[in-house]
Every structure is written in structure tokens, then in C-alpha cells.
Amino acid sequence: MSLRVRTELGEVDLLGFGRDLLGDRVGYIFELKQLGQSMRLVELSEVTRLYGLREGLRERLKIERGVFMTTTNYTLPARQAGRIYSLPLKAYDDLVEWLDSFFSKGEEP
């Protein structure tokens, strides 16, 4: 797993790799936005950028999944694009729930 990776298409916040059920390498990219006190919503252009990165890196790095995580939430057009592009869009409550599920099992995230 790597943080803040520069690619020929732009910077990725988090890049990780795993194996699917058949043992093939699968890549994941994450866009992370901590918008803090501004409470600004993630906009369509930001979700579209992640989609472009995922598709642009799909063949060379075997990137199959992209996930957007924010401490705030998403505009309606951004949420619609997330559905169209098959990009999970996670907000603060989703992140807290996800981390809580690891810690309640005694696992590390």
C-alpha cells in the first residue's frame, strides 16, 4: 500500500493491491478529502477525476476499483456520477462505521 502516489495521469491519495478469488492481482485507488470546518460538499468534477484515474490506470496497473472518501458529503450530481461510474462514495459516517467494525473485531484497518 502506498500513500500519495504520482502517476502519469495525476496524483493518487492511496494505492493498494490485493488478490481476487482466482489469485489475480487487483488494484484499488482511493481519493481522500478532509474538508474540515468548510463543510464543503464533494463536487462532480472531483468524482469524475477519480473515474478518469481509475480508467486510465486500469490496464497498466490493473486498477479495478476506485473509492472516494470524505469527511463531509457529496453534491447530488457527484452522487449520481458515483452510481454511473460504479465508484463507492463514502462519507464521514461510513468511514466511522468501517473503522469501528475493524476495532470491534480486534483487527487493524
Q: What is the pLDDT of residues 75-103, one digit of tens each?
A: 999 999 999 999 999 987 887 787 677 56
Confidence of residue 109 (pLDDT cuts 50, 70, 90): very low
Is 104 or 17 the better-scoring residue by pLDDT?
17
The cell for 24 is: 489475480
Residue 109 in any domain: the answer is: no
Confidence of residue 1 (pLDDT cuts 50, 70, 90): low
Domain CATH for 61: 3.40.1350.10
Residue-number span of the structural domain to which 95 is assigned = 2-104
The domain total for the chain is 1
**How far is the C-alpha of 83 from the C-alpha of 32, rounded, in Å?**
18
Residue 91 in any domain: the answer is: yes
Residue 55 in any domain: the answer is: yes
CB 35 within 8 A of CB 24: no
Residue 26 in any domain: the answer is: yes
